[in-house]
Amino acid sequence: MNRRLLASLAIVVGIALIVIAIVYWAEPAKSLPSFFPGHQAGSNHHHTKHGIAAFLVGLASFAFAWFNTGPKRSRAA
């Protein structure tokens, strides 16, 4: 798989994870989509930790994209 495609995928995944993080922070457990880990009918608990984890993995995806779209100085050397 070429680097540009990998970087594009990482950006898409990163954006999706940031959106997921916001959903975790904004919605209580009862209002999360049922396929989300932590969904619990009737619970008003906010899964802050789930949101932080999704946010940080999203940032890591952006970092991966950042490296994959950088100049190839040392690889070419």
> 30 or 70: whose CB is closer to other proteins?
70
Which ranges of 1-77 does DSSP label H, i.e. alpha helix? 3-26, 48-68, 73-76
User: Could you say whether residue 34 binds other proteins (CB under 8 A)?
Assistant: no
Pick the binder of other proteins from 38, 39, 43, 46 (CB under 8 A): 38
C-alpha span between 23 and 3 (Å, rounded): 30
Contact status, residue 25 vs residue 13, Cβ threshold 8 Å: no
Minimum gap (Å) between residue 31 Cβ and other proteins: 19
- Residues making contact with other proteins (CB under 8 A): 37-38, 48-50, 52-53, 56-57, 60, 63, 66-67, 69-75
